[in-house]
Amino acid sequence: TDALDFREKAPLNAKEDMYWDKEGNPITDLSLYGQLAAGVPGTVDGMVKAHEKYGKLSWKELLQPAIDLAEKGFPITKQQASELTNKHEDFEKYNKVANALISRSTWSQGDLLIQKDLANTLKLVQQKGRNGFYSGKTADLIVNEMKRGNGIITKKDLKNYHSVWRKPVSGAYKDYNVISMPPPSSGGIALVSLFQSIEKYPLKKWGFQSDSTIQVMVEAERRVYADRAEHLGDPDFFKVPQKQLLDKTYNVNRMNNFSFDRATPSSAVKAGEIIGKESMETTHYVIVDKDGNAASVTTTLNGSYGSLVVVGGAGFLLNNEMDDFSVKPGTPNMYGLVGGKANAIQPQKRMLSSMTPSILEKDGKLFMVVGTPGGSTIITSVFQTILNVVDFGMTMQEAVAASRFHHQWLPDQVDYEPKAISENVRETLRKKGYNLKERNAYGRVDGILVNPNGTYQGGADPRGDDKIEGY
Ligand code: DON
């Protein structure tokens, strides 16, 4: 197993106070929209590195289908049509050069989205590999785009960007070996910590979304996200106490002050003491090939359509990943997540992520491949999907479709989808001091599960346009 970190980086000219006003207060939306919200892109280098190490087809062959889709267009889905229509005004605000996304103001299902600039960019990447993006014409276009706003990405930033192979995080849950993403994502450490925190409780006996099951999961989530805020950041810049955070006794002990009688208020939960501490539009897809090799990939611009800026003439959107840094200690980001020193902005640092592309093994053999978009809710959605299969006996499709709930320490509330948690159970939990809040459906979990006879079953989240394909 291997983990490829192709996370964006803060530009060389980034500063800790780059999103603050003169009084030191964060300026609304500055880390979210426009050229200054973009981190140095990592996707292209990531795909090149993945291909170098594991690719079987030629790079040229691999790029061709994407070029054809961009050049000839593809019919958009109903969801895509409504997103593009709703975002039209925002796109106009942040883009001075014409591009495919602003080519019309209203879109309908089945309209062809033709992206000529993007096709040309992809052709350069097809011909020149990473140099087709990080230098030459595409790099010029990115730097020119920066000048149209107050962006700071330079040629040097692009040239310096390299993705990194890292060692995956892994840990046991029951008979399963959970393998997931290491820092700079918080996903893998948080997921394994959640499993360690809940393993001793008989969730299976209590049942899916029963009051006790929800209490135990929420209390574990509250504690794990408190640790996320304090102890997790880019390991190249901040010493992440990974060993302790993945220590089973540590996580089991974190649950010691939980009582079934009452919710623990988040104000009473702090990040765990680290012993010897030094004085911190997402897509997911899962694939299993005919030889049983598995890939679980999460890739993201962060918010929908990222910074909303399309690089003029190059046809692709810039991310707004800079908002994943803790812009100021204690100030929530777009997902309500807080953080401190571990995830403060520093030049060349990677912003903390929640991405949790995961693979489970049972008896050393592939069991499940799973992941999702959803910002801060990614970790808890992956956590629930695995429990749905392992403890609640669901099929892969049932597990991804099942309604979900979420707690992330701060704000101190349990978010739940409209159909999650029965009325009765909600009442019981409210009496115990849980603050419950209904929210719209979130996440698009996709998974592949290996059947006992070695065949596969897929799960595609009905919340999105997700699809299963097989041979
Ligand atoms: O890396 C992260 O945690 C976020 N940038 C992920 C954003 C995301 O999942 C948005 N999709 N709904």
Q: In testing the pocket of ligand 1, which one of 282, 285, 323, 465 has its CB within 8 Å of the most ligand atoms?
A: 282
* CA-nearest residue, atom 5 of ligand 1: 302
Task: Please choose, from the candidates 430, 379, 331, the residue with its C-alpha nearest in 3D space to the C-alpha of residue 224.
Answer: 379
Q: How many Å lie between the centroid of ligand 1 and the Cα of residue 386?
A: 20
Catalytic residue among 282, 298, 299, 372: 282
Atom nearest to 442 CA in ligand 1? 12
CA distance 178 to 366: 10
Q: Which of 5, 180, 300 to mutate to test the pocket of ligand 1 (most atoms within 8 A of CB)?
A: 300
pLDDT in tens, the chain (471 residues): 999 999 999 999 999 999 999 999 999 899 999 999 999 999 999 999 999 999 999 999 999 999 999 999 999 999 999 999 999 999 999 999 999 999 999 999 999 999 999 999 999 999 999 999 999 999 999 999 999 999 999 999 999 999 999 999 999 999 999 999 999 999 999 999 999 999 999 999 999 999 999 999 999 999 999 999 999 999 999 999 999 999 999 999 999 999 999 999 999 898 987 765 433 278 999 999 999 999 999 999 999 899 999 999 999 999 999 999 999 988 999 999 999 999 999 999 999 999 999 999 999 999 999 999 999 999 999 999 999 999 999 999 999 999 999 999 999 999 999 999 999 999 999 999 999 999 999 999 999 999 999 999 999 999 999 999 985
Q: Is 244 left (phi over 0), alpha (psi -120 to 50) or beta?
A: alpha
Q: What is the DSSP letter of 401?
A: H
Which residues are 295's β-sheet partners? 287
Question: Residue 384 corresponds to which tokens in the numbers above?
Answer: 């629930």
The answer to whether 186 and 352 have CB atoms below 8 angstroms apart is: yes
To the query of whether residue 249 is one of the catalytic residues in this protein, the response is no
Which pLDDT tens digit goes with each residue over 359-408?
999 999 999 999 999 999 999 999 999 999 999 999 999 999 999 999 99
Residue nearest to atom 2 of ligand 1 (CA): 353
Q: How far is the CA of 128 from the CAs of 45, 123, 206, in angstroms?
A: 12, 8, 56
Ligand 1 site, CB within 6 A: 282, 300, 302, 321, 324, 353-355, 373-375, 378
Long-range contacts of 410-414 (CB under 8 A, 24+ apart): 410/225, 410/226, 410/229, 410/266, 410/332, 410/336, 410/338, 411/266, 411/332, 411/336, 412/222, 412/265, 412/266, 412/267, 413/437, 414/214, 414/218
> Taking a C-beta distance cutoff of 8 angstroms, is the pair 344, 128 a contact?
no
* DSSP H/E element including 158: helix 155-160
**What separation in angstroms does the CA of 389 have from each of 66, 70, 111, 126, 358?**
34, 38, 38, 40, 14
The protein residue whose alpha carbon is closest to atom 6 in ligand 1 is 375
Buried residues in 339-378 as b, exposed as e (16+ CB within 10 A): bbebbbbbebbbbbbbbbbbbbbeeeebbbbbbbbbbbbb
How far apart, in whole angstroms, are the C-alpha atoms of residue 148 and residue 142?
A: 10
Q: Which two tokens mark 246?
A: 């993945």
187 CA closest ligand 1 atom index = 3
Helix (H, G, I), strand (E, B) or coil at 433: coil
Cα of 65 vs centre of ligand 1, distance in Å, is 26
Please give the distance, rounded to the nearest whole angstrom, from the Cα atom of residue 290 to the centre of ligand 1.
Answer: 30
- Ligand 1 binding pocket mutation candidate from 327, 355, 380 (most atoms within 8 A of CB): 355
Distance from the CA of 320 to the center of ligand 1, in angstroms?
Answer: 10
Atom 12 of ligand 1 has which residue's CA nearest to it?
Answer: 374
E strand or H helix at 365, and its extent? strand 365-371
What pLDDT sits at residue 275?
A: 67
In degrees and rounded to multiples of 5, residue 146 shows phi and psi of -55, -40
pTM of the model: 0.88
With left for phi above 0 and alpha for psi between -120 and 50, is residue 335 left, alpha or beta? alpha
Distance 145 CA to ligand 1 centre (A): 24
Q: Compute the distance between CA of residue 370 and CA of residue 446 in angstroms, rounded to an integer.
A: 6
**What's the gap in Å between 186 CA and the centre of ligand 1?**
12
DSSP state of 34: S
H helix count then E strand count, the chain: 16, 15
**Cα–Cα dist 296/427, whole Å:** 38
CB–CB of 407/414 below 8 Å? yes
Atom index in ligand 1 nearest the CA of residue 324 equals 5
- pLDDT reported for residue 224: 98
* pLDDT of amino acid 471: 58
Backbone angles phi, psi at 35, to 5 degrees: -60, -30
Q: For atom 1 of ligand 1, which residue has the closest CA?
A: 353
Using CA atoms, how far apart are residues 125 and 131, in angstroms rounded to an integer? 7
- pLDDT for position 278: 38
353 Cα to the center of ligand 1, angstroms? 7
